[in-house]
Amino acid sequence: MHHRQLGPFTVSAIGFGCMNLSHAYGVPPSAEQGERVLRAAIEQGVTLFDTAALYGFGRNEELVGRVLKPHRQDITLCSKGGLAGVPDASGILKRVIDGRPDTIRRNCEDSLRRLQTEVIDLYYLHRWDKAVPIEDSVGAMSRLVEEGKVRILGLSEVSAATLRKAHAVHPIAAVQNEYSLWTRNPEIAMLAACRELGVAFVPFSPVARGFLCDAVHDVGSFEAKDIRRAMPRFEPENHARNLQLLPPYKALAREAGCTPAQLALAWLLHRGDNVIPIPGTTRVEHLREDLAAADLRLDANLVGRLDALINQHTVAGNRYSEQSNREVDTETF
C-alpha cells in the first residue's frame, strides 16, 4: 500500500469510508458482513478509517469500534460531529445539524464511547451549522484537542472561505468534500486553499455513488431508503443522459488497463499528493479492486481526455437537491 501524509499521520493513500456498512444506500449489510469488510481492509493495508455519529445513528461507530479495537494503535481513526440523530417528540431519531459547542462536546463524547477509544485521531465538523459562527464550533473542537479527546481537526462540506476562518481559530488538518470526475466543485477554490494552508483533502463519494463503477443502470431499482432517490443526477431523465458517458469512459479504463472504479480513484490520486480518497463498499472483492488503484499511473494525455469527457459541463443534474444544497457551504458552479 502506498502512503500519504494527513497532518501528523502517515496513512494509506486510499482510506476506507465506513458509511455504506450502516447507512445511506438502502438496507445495510449484516453486522457479520460489515466485520468481514473491515477485517479485509486491515489485511490489505488500509490505515485510514472514516465514520460519523450520523451513520446508522451511531451503529456504524459501534461496528467500527468493536472490529477495529484490536488494531487501534495501527490505524488513523476519523469521526464527525455536529450532525447526529436526535429523538423527536415521539422518540424517533431525526438527523439534526447542530454546531453549538455543548452539542459538539456531547457528540464527541458519545463517539468516543461507541468507538471504544480514548481519543479520536481526526475529528471533523460534519456540517457547518449556519446558525452558529464557524469560529464558535471550531473553538469548541479545539478544546477537545486540548483535553486529549481529539488529536487533529477537520471540516466537511465547507467552502474555502469557511476553511480560512476556521483555520485562523485552530489549525485544520483535513477537509472532506465530495470530489470525483463528475463532481468538480472543489476545483473552484478548495483544492488551491488546501495546498496553500497545508491541509489534506479527503474526497468522499470518489466513484460518484457507484456511477463510475458502472454499477448504476436502473435507478428504479433503488431501495426505499437509498439517498440517491433524492439526488437530481439519478432522476430518470438526467440518468439517461449521464449513462451516455459510460461507454467512452469504460473505453478509457480498458486503455489504462484497469476497471472503471480504479480509473476514477487513480484520477483522484493524480490531483495532488495531499488528496486521499475514501471509497466505501459492502463487498470484499470491491474493496480489493478499489485499493489496487493506488498502483496505477496515468499519463497526461489520458488524464486530459478524462477531464474533457466527464466534468461539470457534461454531467446532467445537480449533485444534491435544493434542500441538501442549502445545508452545505461548498462552492457551486
Residue 1 pLDDT more than 90? no
pLDDT in tens, 200-209: 999 999 999 9
167: nearest Cα among 207, 138, 133: 138
Torsion angles phi and psi, residue 53, rounded to 5 = -60, -30
Whether 123 is a known active-site residue: answer no
The reported pTM is: 0.97
Catalytic one of 55, 123, 124, 249: 55
User: Over 90: is that where the pLDDT of 146 sits?
Assistant: yes
C-alpha cell at 244: 451516455
- Tens digits of per-residue pLDDT, 100-113? 999 999 999 999 99
Q: Which residue in this structure is represented by grid cell 483535553? A: 147
Average pLDDT over residues 285-300: 98
Mean of pLDDT values over 9-37:
97
Residues 153 and 173: beta-carbon distance below 8 Å = yes
CB distance 278 to 16 below 8 Å? yes
Q: What is the per-residue DSSP string for 126-172?
A: SS--TTS-HHHHHHHHHHHHHTTSEEEEEEES--HHHHHHHHHHS-E
Mean pLDDT, all residues of the chain: 97
- Cβ atoms 13, 212 nearer than 8 A: no
> Mean of the pLDDT values across residues 286-313?
98
Domains of the chain in start order, with CATH, are: 3-208+262-296 (3.20.20.100)
- Each residue of 314-325: pLDDT tens digit? 999 999 999 999
Nearest residue to 64 (alpha-carbon basis) of 326, 278, 330, 294:
278
The reported pLDDT for the residue numbered 128 is 98
The rounded distance, in Å, linking the Cα atoms of 310 and 267 is 12
Residue 216 confidence class, pLDDT cut points 50, 70, 90: very high
Query: Cell 422518540 maps to which residue?
Result: 91
**Three-state secondary structure readout of 208-219:** HHHHHHCCCCCH
Q: How far apart are alpha carbons 288 and 279 in whole angstroms?
A: 11
Runs of H (alpha helix) within the chain: 31-43, 59-68, 101-115, 134-146, 160-169, 190-197, 236-243, 246-256, 260-269, 284-291, 300-309, 322-327
Neighbours of 8 (CB within 10 A): 10
124-145 pLDDT per residue, tens: 999 999 999 999 999 999 999 9
70-100 pLDDT, tens per residue? 999 999 999 999 999 999 999 999 999 999 9
